[in-house]
Amino acid sequence: MLSIYVVLAFVVLLALAFDYINGFHDTANAIAASVSTRAMSPRVAVTMVAILNFVGALYSTGVAQTIAKDIVVADQVTTQVMVAALIGAIFWNLFTWYFGIPSSSSHAIIGGVMGAGIAKAGVGILQIAGIKKIIMALIFSPIIGMGLGFTVMTILYWIFKDKAPSKVNGRFRRLQILSAAFLAFNHGSNDAQKSMGIITLALVAAGMQSTMDVALWVKLSCAMAIAAGTAAGGWRIIRTLGGKIFKIEPINGFAADLSSSLVIWVATTFPGLHLPVSTTHVVSGSIMGVGSAKRISAVRWGVAQQMLIAWILTIPSTALASAFVYLFLSLFTYIF
């Protein structure tokens, strides 16, 4: 049988791999608008986002503790559960990335933990109250992003209605750099914490620590992993967010990035919340809201519908995948 230290090291490597994949899978969230409007070159945009993802990941640990405490009962979790959860989530992220579908890494890891946990100990392992809170945040955050995007864009249209579009877009092309930077920081502060929470839960399950406090080495490792993944880029999804939903101009990109940033920042830092939200969902919702402010027909709702289907399928798909992985691993109990 493998040593608990070996299995735990494997969990950490898988969590960092998930964090890395999350980085390149979600790079589009922060830079799709600014790249599509040519506010920044792809190389400059990716470099900026990678740096700010790293900085944002070190900002707080509230979301990490939510992931660690509010999905499953910690004292019923094993390292094998964590291995299965991460494999299922990684599989889904790679599958959707390959086809250029902006799915949610947040949904993937939450579904993975739920599915592997149920396979191990039944439905009783789930923290129902915590899961309800997390799922409500995942559902309502893109809706709030859409409403805020619509509102911000409507206000901007009213303020600049008498200005020449070329001059307005010229100014907002520069402002987009600031809004993209704010979004990149918030992306790192929320998304990197999901892997921090998984590693912390695994450490508690293995008896390596007794509290859900996130160790410094965990914070640094996850920050570096998501920054490295971001630097690798995610061009398939950038094409979807940058143009297939709505033809974005600089003023639209600024409004979408600002709206997304505010939603994620509140979910991450507001006292009593510290909720994991899907950056992909929030950004997509904001872009739809911004497009609707121009006119409803400006949004390609067929693409939006395809994305919605992927979002709905993510939690059950990763839950099933992770449950099957756990049952498969259980056949090799003499190893694990």
Higher pLDDT, 198 or 308: 198
Say how far residue 277 (Cα) sits from the centre of its chain.
7
> What would the pLDDT profile of 162-198 be if each residue is shown by its tens digit?
888 888 888 898 898 899 899 989 988 998 898 999 9
Is 325 a residue whose pLDDT tops 90? yes
pLDDT at 29: 65
What's the mean pLDDT in 297-314?
Answer: 74
Q: Where are the domains of the chain?
A: 4-330
Strand partners, 72: 126
Give residue 244's pLDDT.
54
Higher-pLDDT residue of 331, 152: 152
Alpha helices for 233-300 (secondary structure H): 235-239, 250-269, 279-294
Contacts with 167 (C-beta within 8 Å, 6 or more apart), sequence order: none
Helices 250-269 & 128-159, crossing angle to 10 degrees? 150
Mean pLDDT of all residues in the chain?
A: 85
Quick one: CA dihedral 68, 72, 74, 78, positive or negative?
negative
Tell me: pLDDT of 335 over 60.
no
Mean pLDDT, residues 276-282 taken together: 86
What is the spatial distance between Cα 113 and Cα 212, in angstroms, rounded to a whole number?
16
d(CA 39, CA 32): 10
Summarised one tens digit per residue, pLDDT across range 51-74 is 998 999 888 888 998 998 899 998
pLDDT at 81: 92
Give residue 15's pLDDT: 94
CB 282, CB 263: distance < 8 Å: yes
Higher pLDDT, 118 or 46: 118
Helix (H) or strand (E) holding 10: helix 4-36
**Which residues are CB-contacts of 309 (< 8 A; sequence separation ≥ 6)?**
none
pLDDT band at 260; cut points 50, 70, 90: very high
Task: Give the integer Cα–Cα distance in Å for 324 and 112.
Answer: 10
Predicted pLDDT of residue 265: 94
> pLDDT, tens digit, for every residue of 90-146?
998 888 777 767 677 888 999 999 999 999 999 999 999 999 999 899 889 999 999
